[in-house]
Structure 1
């Protein structure tokens, strides 16, 4: 029975596979599993975060290339030139006029840190930096973009101050050596540079008194408070509450990135950033807040509705391929329905053929009984006895077909009795 079932089911399965293979030719092929991500410098938090993404994505069989850059401005350029698929960009640099870049997510807060030399006086307002020597971040960085906005708001320009565009490491060293008066940097609170400068008694950090005012002027900025002792209770770092201005790190993409890659990328982003952190509650990030950019369709779908039903059952790429072929289900089912209707009659025929094949021998003997001689009758009897044993050993059928089986055995016995009667008559005549 098992063998016959396989004879039926295997061709049917092969037919289904063939139909999927043919119809899948009319569906857009699966995307190439490659992503290029523009990060920032190797010492920056963007690059560190991108390494986490890379590890998770490569475990999902996606090849990831990381591009080291000067920062947000250069990353935007790479997106527009289609040299990067996804990029880290500081919030607030782009506005709604950008149509060839799409927004994927806010991923974490990026506070603005303003460190200055401890010359025994305290700075509470940005305007007090006028006439000073200030580093505002290197060309192409988000730090320079934000710093320039804030300094312009306070009337600080190259005409009344010396403004330098240096990278973080160079700025830090010059500040420690007393070669500049202040430095701006936009980075996460867990940056080693931030902790080093906060621990240094010769360096102060500006606690911005009007942080909320800046937050009201720029919707991409938010006022945060770093409380006394938060970073190190033992050393009491910082040694007082600090008012910070914070933007957020954004992930942007060019519109040509396939939806499947965007979705699996965002799944890894959620794994990395949904945990509680110093300034954020659990599941606060990633989100789609505080942006004027066009939101990627797949990002909006994912962050609004989460995983699909298929993704909750199958690994992502299996669920994705099933989803791509879903348009074929209706014509496929329409085509398969008559095929499945024919399976049961085919199965019935297969089971009955196991029984009916014996009738050929029985019928042949039955036709010869009336004209057979004594020796032939004995030979027929022996043949039917052997046939009886063969039928019992070889004919295995389900209970639902036992009626046909017992009919066969009755007919066999009927022919045997017919031969016995002929034998008796023949022997009497002899």
Structure 2
């Protein structure tokens, strides 16, 4: 019984020889089967490219007018996308309706947009637009200047009518979210006569209100909007509460009630002076349904990290969600809501994680297709080696038949050269150990014919009677 050192040495020596043998077989296999392997590779690349193209490096999103929350939010999304290696181009628009129109137009490069719930009805939107869910609350603010009015005055219909008739009130430009929300609220309260209402952009309305050109303005925008913040911190500007907020929510289902505690906007100023209720709609992230799934995941992750934080009106983790989802929900968003962002993205850069994910998705069905072919490859190689051996056997047999028919002692050197050529061709064959016996049988047969030629008495010259039927 050998020592432990000797046994270990023999074990590793055996493993080394086995590895070398397998490697030699593998390299020979590649040399012989490379056309088939190349064909399989081309099929894989074709499936990969056409079935699951890579995500684009640049994408456009429609935001909104200058000074609005969507402009600020768009810049935050652009920073997030830039860290992932994707350029998010912000497209400034005149409001929600233009955002939707650009999404509907399949020739427009815009593939995503911020749009408030309630701006349009689903039947007014053609197919091809999906939602990734709601991402924020957009309160509906009514700011006014001048003497502060008791909020009760805004609850009496005739008092309200009188106030609006005597004042210059802005309800936002046509097609904007502000215009849609203000018009809806005015309509349900019975104020359908809009002849005296002004239609100005948010930033223009803020300047006009502060300068005294107008008396009041609706703004449907986020709390962090520069326009909203400018008015909230102006002591000359007042804010109207919706005391009948519960009634509005019953009549307009997509609206939400926002509770504002006393002094929460400005504690030193004690603004507001008492607890108040506001109405709010939600911002929806709409997309062209042709958007690449990886980019959709990127938008959802941006929404989770940016909009999912606790804010003045939203709880931590409240967004993104399918609040007020009146449009078809993206399957990617539904998957995200249940499973969140792909696990690979937490450990790899976006592009590498997406590449691995695409490879896995394509590799599984490819294996189902390629497995039978790959299993047949070793048999294919063995069959090819046997074919080469059998062809040389055929050449050897043909050579011997020629000797039987037309053997000439003077040409013996020429015969030996032909035999050497056959043997050289046999030496060029690379065979595995499994068919080595057949290979050396061929070599032995070649030597046998050579020995016959080198004998003094040639079998190919036998002149006696021969029964050919033996």
Match of 2:183 in 1: 148
The farther-off stretch of 43-52 and 303-312 is 303-312
Q: Deviation of residue 119 (structure 1)?
A: 2.0
**Aligned partner of residue 87 in structure 1, secondary structure:** strand
CA–CA distance in 1 between the matches of 2:276 and 2:234?
16
Q: In structure 2, do the counterparts of structure 1 residues 194 and 310 end up closer, same or farther at CA, with 3 Å as the change threshold?
A: closer
The farther-off stretch of 15-24 and 86-95 is 15-24
Match of 1:240 in 2: 274
Match of 2:433 in 1: none
CA–CA distance in 1 between the matches of 2:274 and 2:55?
52
**Aligned partner of residue 298 in structure 2, secondary structure:** helix
Match of 1:170 in 2: 204
Q: Deviation of residue 296 (structure 1)?
A: 1.3
Matched, 1:95 2:116: no
Match of 1:333 among 352, 371, 382: 371
Matched, 1:73 2:97: yes
Matches within 5 A, 1:22-171: 22-27=43-48, 28=50, 29-82=53-106, 83=108, 84-97=110-123, 98-100=125-127, 101-124=129-152, 125=154, 127=157, 128=160, 129-131=163-165, 132-158=167-193, 162-171=196-205
RMSD across aligned positions (CA)? 3.0
Matched, 1:320 2:357: yes
Per-residue CA deviations over 1:7-45 (Å, capped at 9, x if unaligned) read: 666788997787344322134233433311011123221
Q: In structure 2, do the counterparts of structure 1 residues 341 and 268 end up closer, same or farther at CA, with 3 Å as the change threshold?
A: farther
Q: What is the count of residue pairs matched by the alignment?
A: 343
CA–CA distance in 2 between the matches of 1:273 and 1:340?
56
Q: TM-score, normalised by structure 2?
A: 0.66
Q: Deviation of residue 341 (structure 1)?
A: 10
Q: In structure 2, do the counterparts of structure 1 residues 122 and 250 end up closer, same or farther at CA, with 3 Å as the change threshold?
A: same
Gapped regions of structure 2 (runs ≥ 5): 1-15, 383-470
Q: Deviation of residue 74 (structure 1)?
A: 0.7
Q: Deviation of residue 268 (structure 1)?
A: 2.2
Q: Deviation of residue 205 (structure 1)?
A: 0.3
Q: In structure 2, do the counterparts of structure 1 residues 9 and 233 end up closer, same or farther at CA, with 3 Å as the change threshold?
A: farther
Q: Deviation of residue 80 (structure 1)?
A: 0.8
Match of 2:253 in 1: 219
CA–CA distance in 1 between the matches of 2:274 and 2:30?
72
Q: Deviation of residue 312 (structure 1)?
A: 5.9
Q: In structure 2, do the counterparts of structure 1 residues 332 and 313 end up closer, same or farther at CA, with 3 Å as the change threshold?
A: farther
Match of 2:6 in 1: none
CA–CA distance in 2 between the matches of 1:13 and 1:41?
62
The answer to whether the Cα contact below 8 Å between 1:33 and 1:261 also exists between their aligned partners in 2 is no
Matched, 1:272 2:306: yes
Matches within 5 A, 1:12-27: 19-27=40-48
Per-residue CA deviations over 1:387-423 (Å, capped at 9, x if unaligned) read: xxxxxxxxxxxxxxxxxxxxxxxxxxxxxxxxxxxxx
CA–CA distance in 2 between the matches of 1:17 and 1:290?
52
Match of 2:12 in 1: none
**Aligned partner of residue 321 in structure 2, secondary structure:** coil
Per-residue CA deviations over 1:262-281 (Å, capped at 9, x if unaligned) read: 22322222221221112111
Gapped regions of structure 1 (runs ≥ 5): 346-430
The answer to whether the Cα contact below 8 Å between 1:147 and 1:184 also exists between their aligned partners in 2 is yes
CA–CA distance in 2 between the matches of 1:303 and 1:140?
31
Match of 1:229 among 263, 266, 289: 263
Matched, 1:186 2:214: no
Match of 2:425 in 1: none
The answer to whether the Cα contact below 8 Å between 2:63 and 2:90 also exists between their aligned partners in 1 is yes
CA–CA distance in 1 between the matches of 2:299 and 2:27?
38
CA–CA distance in 2 between the matches of 1:49 and 1:340?
59
The farther-off stretch of 193-202 and 163-172 is 193-202
Q: TM-score, normalised by structure 1?
A: 0.71
The answer to whether the Cα contact below 8 Å between 2:112 and 2:286 also exists between their aligned partners in 1 is yes
